[in-house]
Amino acid sequence: MSDRERLKRLAAERAVEFVEDGMVLGLGTGSTAKHVLDVLAERRRAGALRKIVGVATSRWTERYARELGIPLITLEEEPRVDLTLDGADEVDPSLDLIKGLGGALLWEKIVATVSDQFVVVVDETKLVKRLGERAPLPIEVVPFGWNTHLSYLDLLGGEPTLRLTPAGTPFMTDGGHYLIECRFSGGMAEPRRLEQELRQRVGVVETGLFLGMADAVVVAGEDGVRVLRPEVSTA
């Protein structure tokens, strides 16, 4: 296991401490979320957390959870989630996030939104001073007219490209949409304003900006694992 994977594993182990038996869990998508699933399955094999059920945020997560023997339900069966554990592509000092480069941002945001707690699990390389410093922003759009968004994103200061598969065809999300990945040189100056503008545009389904949503961020680094929480305003 590489050093980075070891840190992801440590963060996952700490994050699973938030889980109580009997919970409905939102199960994230991505390499760090995979470690969370592994830890949950190990706890279950050891006799703990036998009554948890999961809501998958992608078809990949659904398949992997079933392989591990983690029971699943859908939001149609249970529209409220106790706790979601998921990774992130970037985390800024306010605990705002970029998520979705695994291609599951729409389903991830739906599940996170209906969760009583949303706990993010990362290694320290995901911490940034400004969102967009390193990662592009994924924007989920309907396939019809997808290219009409490119000039608009240029005007907003972005550098948009359509995400492609290794075969050179457009990447398709589980919801049947395309992903535009938009880079912002130096990061985003006003992510909240950008989110508002993008969400008002016809054809944009969702963005990878998860703003003000995280209740805690579990961060693993060479100095150990710590839990970050958003500052509470006294105004």
Active site residues: 108
Distance CA 6, CA 2 (A): 6
Half-sphere exposure of 29 (CA within 13 A, CB side): 25
**If DSSP codes are grouped into helix, strand and coil, which group holds residue 231?**
coil
Tokens of 116: 């009583």
Burial of 98: CB neighbours in 10 Å, binned 0-12, 13-18, 19+: buried
Half-sphere exposure of 85 (CA within 13 A, CB side): 32
**If DSSP codes are grouped into helix, strand and coil, which group holds residue 95?**
coil
Distance CA 179, CA 217 (A): 26
Judge whether 159 and 135 are in contact, CB under 8 Å: no
